[in-house]
A and B are shown apart, each in its own frame.
Chain A
């Protein structure tokens, strides 16, 4: 028999300050997950259990929402998030080269995180800043008219 509640009360001390600020209603699911991700950097399996228990929804519902939205990460992310735009305008103006350069510099593919959890790289469909193409966003800061060399230099400054 599957012992459904073998570790029934998962406790994540990091979330002690977060959970009480959300009412125990299903409608709180997405805002709560967003804040959990801000706190932990990603949504861990334990965080999903805690969320399910707090909102009294099945864990599968939480998993469904977390996997549906690309904003939620299921794995631990790097301290710096590098997002390279792959929208049509950026693509035309050389985004592929930027991704290549960034990947080569960090030794990881898009969607991966460096072993020291310093950097994560991901492709983003469009930032809506096509006039600045190609665009790279590092830790919420937008850089326009980026060249591969610039991108590597920006990373070097962060190392």
Chain B
């Protein structure tokens, strides 16, 4: 691939890689060849004929976008013979393009203008064939005017090739050709997911974003504040506001692609209801306060509780939405300032079983291989991850692997998620029976001799335990438990085991169970027994949820780990931290999120400090959470909005959003990337780390830093996996930990040659049933999840009018069979009740969920699914079982006449 060759364009010598096109080489060399249908990252199309050239020894005028460069080639581009043809083509395009440049948002930044200017076109000799403006305004994020369209196909190709959605295609023929959705319906009636890739790529603004009204003055490169994909963003700003959002084409995670939330969902930054001043609750009402008053009160109350009841009566929820530096300072405030290990964050609720399980099996609890490597796997086993909705950019790599490289995709998920369209095999296990499925797959692999014996012998230990454990777990045994036909289990096992590079991707469908750790261990067993780990495009890959949930874990926002996953209970490690922080530290593991809520309810924890979390919507059994938080003596919430949790606080401190601060975040690839200030903070809001330093100083542990860069340097000095990482090294591109020294290039995939813990350890995982199974009284199984258009408790996404419009309060998905039995119709209001609470929702009758299972998201305050969920937890990781509980459905009582008034 990397062999270089040399050729000439218009007499200028140009170098190209072998396999590179003439156009691509010209672009690298800074030579302009006019083009319209070419767009970086899309396959050559050769439709616009604008990039034609002459090549010595070749007939006619080949398109340079689809002609490979060859050694010694003589290419002519900017010559009369070629430009004459280009001019005619361009004139034909202009003949049916409305000349409304002055009022067009693409003016001065238009592909057609650029080409026309280069060719010196002054007018068109052709009769103008003007179409009426064909404006489709149905999508909340972008508008399209097909009369401006030049049919270059960049939009349709990015929709099909890059995103695998295929909502639009060129329909008709000749002058009737147009970009259309089936039936020429408005775009809102299509399968479009509003990722905006087409909008970004349209050269003439036949598609334009509604949120772009003025051109930016400055552009800031940063990292998307939503999910763990860690996409690079370019924020265009003007007058202290974000006026344009683009994907960073050089960013390793997304190469310029974004999802709807990243591209169109940053309205929250400039929302009018951002917290802009500290608030103190007096007589049940929040009153504005100065920083001095608020910080003094927080310090007084924390110190008083500590003095009276000891440090363990205080606890803190750190945040997977905050930067690495802020998480480090937060846990340092609690460990060194308060002297308790009662510090945890919402990873407890998403991937604590991953951290527990993979650390036991491999020695490291992170994604073993980066997202981009899915593209080159032969077989991808996706289970418990609705990837296209929860990790849309990761899904692109998976779809590419299938569509472009012919990989096998196995989806094991109770719901018929969108990724199933690409699957070779879809198996639908009953929620909560994952271990039975994985054990049966391992049984097949062992009994059919598909086991990688060399790998098992040389790299692992404890295999006999697993062999014994799965001996009885035949596919026929698993069939009645999981509901998957035995032969399908065999097929899945064979497909995965026979792959050269088999990769497992999973997410909360695996972790959020009382058997969460076992689920993860069983997947680790599956990877080790087939040798699918420790190489590129293999591994066990937990897709992390929040933009910085990986970093919050890395930096020790965990009750039993110091930064860098170093055990609190290890006296030697403790000694190094005592030396670094200059105070004696508590030797006892702290409480987890779920335990802190319990302890608050019972009165053992009396003061709670919450930074950027919303347990009043995110935690299971909400009625219980509310009781616990109200029982606290003191609650301090530091956030950017008045969340459901902040409403209950005594003091609320206004913080900076991701677009208003500097720092680093670590994405699901373990890649530490920069977050940069783009716009000023509202009112007197401050950076989280600065607020925390003030609090620490006031409770008697002085902390001060001049910048996040200085904090990262301190992190590097105490956490070996971050030792080589600093701001100057990640200025251009992030580094993947472990990065043990300043010259280390980072580690794309883990466990090469040797596992972090030495040998990979097999763990026997006997099947256990979920905590609460459907029964006669509560006959349906409720499982929860997320939709593409909202983020967690909607603190951020509810401030975007477009996202709210496209995804109103979530319905409950009911299978047609269940709906028929209950007499429930599509769209009808129903009550959903569990042993813990009752809510109302609209029924959506669909076969996405299997019979007997209903599905809801937890995004919404109205009809909060977590009023129903059970707070039973995994015995090791303490993660709650969000994915299985028993409910019953009934028709909602019709509203009374006087209720409607």
The verdict on A67 contacting B172 (CB below 8 Å), with A1-B808, A58-B166, A60-B182 known, is yes
Question: Is there a chain B Cβ closer than 8 Å to A5's Cβ?
Answer: yes
A56 CB, min distance to chain B CBs, angstroms: 7
Choose among A5, A60, A62, A63 the residue that contacts B848 (Cβ–Cβ < 8 A).
Answer: A5
Q: Which of B137-191 touch A at CB < 8 Å?
A: 156, 160, 165-173, 180-183, 188-191
Contacts of B787 in A (CB 8 A): 1
Question: Is there a chain A Cβ closer than 8 Å to B756's Cβ?
Answer: no
Q: How far is the CA of A63 from the CA of B169 in the complex (A)?
A: 8
**Are B190 and A2 in contact, with the CB atoms below 8 A?**
yes
Contacts of A45 in B (CB 8 A): 182-183
Contacts of B789 in A (CB 8 A): 1
Instruction: Sample 7 A-B pairs with CB under 8 A, ordered by A number.
Output: A1-B807, A2-B188, A2-B192, A58-B191, A60-B180, A62-B182, A67-B171
Flag A59-91 by CB within 8 Å of B: 1 or 0 each. 111111001101000000000000000000000
Question: Is there a chain B Cβ closer than 8 Å to A3's Cβ?
Answer: yes
Q: How far is the CA of A63 from the CA of B787 in the complex (A)?
A: 28
Question: Is there a chain A Cβ closer than 8 Å to B847's Cβ?
Answer: yes
Choose among B167, B180, B191, B826 the residue that contacts A67 (Cβ–Cβ < 8 A).
Answer: B180
Q: Which of B171-217 touch A at CB < 8 Å?
A: 171-173, 180-183, 188-192
**Are B171 and A59 in contact, with the CB atoms below 8 A?**
no
Name the residue of chain B whose CB is nearest to the CB of A70: B173
Question: Is there a chain B Cβ closer than 8 Å to A101's Cβ?
Answer: no
Question: Is there a chain A Cβ closer than 8 Å to B360's Cβ?
Answer: no
Question: Is there a chain B Cβ closer than 8 Å to A12's Cβ?
Answer: no
**Are A56 and B421 in contact, with the CB atoms below 8 A?**
yes
**Are A5 and B846 in contact, with the CB atoms below 8 A?**
yes
Question: Is there a chain A Cβ closer than 8 Å to B416's Cβ?
Answer: yes
Question: Is there a chain B Cβ closer than 8 Å to A6's Cβ?
Answer: yes
**Are A59 and B191 in contact, with the CB atoms below 8 A?**
yes
Q: How far is the CA of A5 from the CA of B848 in the complex (A)?
A: 8
**Are B180 and A61 in contact, with the CB atoms below 8 A?**
no
Question: Is there a chain B Cβ closer than 8 Å to A48's Cβ?
Answer: yes
**Are A8 and B416 in contact, with the CB atoms below 8 A?**
yes
**Are B168 and A60 in contact, with the CB atoms below 8 A?**
yes
Q: How far is the CA of A56 from the CA of B420 in the complex (A)?
A: 10
The verdict on A57 contacting B166 (CB below 8 Å), with A1-B807, A3-B844, A64-B171 known, is yes
The verdict on A4 contacting B191 (CB below 8 Å), with A9-B847, A48-B182, A63-B180 known, is yes
Contacts of B166 in A (CB 8 A): 57-61
**Are A63 and B806 in contact, with the CB atoms below 8 A?**
no
Which residues in B have some Cβ–Cβ distance to A below 8 Å? 156, 160, 165-173, 180-183, 188-192, 416, 418, 421, 787, 789, 806-808, 826, 844, 846-848
Choose among A3, A56, A62, A70 the residue that contacts B846 (Cβ–Cβ < 8 A).
Answer: A3
Contacts of B183 in A (CB 8 A): 45, 63
Listed residue (A3, A48, A70) with the most chain B CB atoms within 10 angstroms of its CB: A3
Contacts of A2 in B (CB 8 A): 188-192, 806
Contacts of B189 in A (CB 8 A): 2
Contacts of B171 in A (CB 8 A): 60, 63-64, 67-68
Name the residue of chain A whose CB is nearest to the CB of B178: A67
A118 CB, min distance to chain B CBs, angstroms: 26
**Are B846 and A58 in contact, with the CB atoms below 8 A?**
no
**Are A60 and B169 in contact, with the CB atoms below 8 A?**
yes
The verdict on A60 contacting B190 (CB below 8 Å), with A1-B808, A67-B180 known, is yes
**Are A58 and B416 in contact, with the CB atoms below 8 A?**
no
Flag A1-28 by CB within 8 Å of B: 1 or 0 each. 1111110110000000000000000000
B890 CB, min distance to chain A CBs, angstroms: 23
Contacts of A59 in B (CB 8 A): 166, 182, 191
Contacts of A9 in B (CB 8 A): 847
Contacts of B182 in A (CB 8 A): 45, 48, 59-60, 62-63
Contacts of B160 in A (CB 8 A): 58, 61
**Are A58 and B169 in contact, with the CB atoms below 8 A?**
yes
B289 CB, min distance to chain A CBs, angstroms: 40
Q: How far is the CA of A4 from the CA of B416 in the complex (A)?
A: 12
Listed residue (A3, A4, A6, A9) with the most chain B CB atoms within 10 angstroms of its CB: A4
Main secondary structure of the interface of A (DSSP, over half): loop
Contacts of B806 in A (CB 8 A): 1-2
Q: How far is the CA of A5 from the CA of B847 in the complex (A)?
A: 9
- 11 other contacts beyond A1-B808, A63-B180, with CB at 8 A cut-off? A1-B789, A1-B807, A6-B826, A48-B182, A58-B160, A58-B191, A59-B182, A60-B182, A61-B169, A63-B171, A64-B171
**Are A64 and B169 in contact, with the CB atoms below 8 A?**
yes
**Are B173 and A68 in contact, with the CB atoms below 8 A?**
yes
Name the residue of chain A whose CB is nearest to the CB of B156: A60
Contacts of B165 in A (CB 8 A): 58
Q: How far is the CA of A2 from the CA of B427 in the complex (A)?
A: 26
**Are B846 and A8 in contact, with the CB atoms below 8 A?**
yes
Q: How far is the CA of A6 from the CA of B813 in the complex (A)?
A: 11
Q: How far is the CA of A67 from the CA of B179 in the complex (A)?
A: 12
B522 CB, min distance to chain A CBs, angstroms: 30
Contacts of B169 in A (CB 8 A): 58, 60-61, 63-64
**Are B167 and A58 in contact, with the CB atoms below 8 A?**
yes
B261 CB, min distance to chain A CBs, angstroms: 13
Contacts of A4 in B (CB 8 A): 191, 418
B256 CB, min distance to chain A CBs, angstroms: 22
6 smallest CB-CB distances across A and B, nearest first, come from A58-B166, A60-B169, A64-B169, A67-B171, A63-B182, A1-B807
Contacts of A62 in B (CB 8 A): 182
Q: How far is the CA of A56 from the CA of B172 in the complex (A)?
A: 22
Contacts of B191 in A (CB 8 A): 2, 4, 58-60
Q: How far is the CA of A2 from the CA of B418 in the complex (A)?
A: 14
Q: How far is the CA of A57 from the CA of B169 in the complex (A)?
A: 12
Name the residue of chain B whose CB is nearest to the CB of A68: B173
Flag A37-57 by CB within 8 Å of B: 1 or 0 each. 000000001001000000011
Choose among B156, B172, B190 the residue that contacts A68 (Cβ–Cβ < 8 A).
Answer: B172
Q: How far is the CA of A61 from the CA of B421 in the complex (A)?
A: 15
Contacts of B807 in A (CB 8 A): 1
Name the residue of chain A whose CB is nearest to the CB of B845: A6
Name the residue of chain B whose CB is nearest to the CB of A8: B847
Q: How far is the CA of A2 from the CA of B806 in the complex (A)?
A: 7
A29 CB, min distance to chain B CBs, angstroms: 12
Name the residue of chain B whose CB is nearest to the CB of A6: B846
Contacts of B181 in A (CB 8 A): 60, 63
Contacts of A1 in B (CB 8 A): 787, 789, 806-808
Name the residue of chain B whose CB is nearest to the CB of A74: B183
Q: How far is the CA of A150 from the CA of B279 in the complex (A)?
A: 92
A93 CB, min distance to chain B CBs, angstroms: 27
A35 CB, min distance to chain B CBs, angstroms: 20
**Are A67 and B173 in contact, with the CB atoms below 8 A?**
yes
Listed residue (B169, B180, B183, B188) with the most chain A CB atoms within 10 angstroms of its CB: B169
Q: How far is the CA of A67 from the CA of B847 in the complex (A)?
A: 31
Contacts of A5 in B (CB 8 A): 416, 846, 848
A54 CB, min distance to chain B CBs, angstroms: 12
**Are A64 and B846 in contact, with the CB atoms below 8 A?**
no
**Are A8 and B848 in contact, with the CB atoms below 8 A?**
yes
Name the residue of chain A whose CB is nearest to the CB of B848: A5
B113 CB, min distance to chain A CBs, angstroms: 29
Contacts of A58 in B (CB 8 A): 160, 165-167, 169, 191
Contacts of A48 in B (CB 8 A): 182
Name the residue of chain B whose CB is nearest to the CB of A53: B421
Listed residue (A4, A62, A64) with the most chain B CB atoms within 10 angstroms of its CB: A64
Name the residue of chain A whose CB is nearest to the CB of B187: A2
Contacts of A63 in B (CB 8 A): 169, 171, 180-183
Name the residue of chain A whose CB is nearest to the CB of B789: A1
Name the residue of chain B whose CB is nearest to the CB of A66: B171
Name the residue of chain B whose CB is nearest to the CB of A59: B182
Contacts of B188 in A (CB 8 A): 2
Q: How far is the CA of A116 from the CA of B239 in the complex (A)?
A: 66
Q: How far is the CA of A36 from the CA of B351 in the complex (A)?
A: 49
Name the residue of chain A whose CB is nearest to the CB of B164: A58
Q: How far is the CA of A1 from the CA of B804 in the complex (A)?
A: 9
Contacts of A67 in B (CB 8 A): 171-173, 180
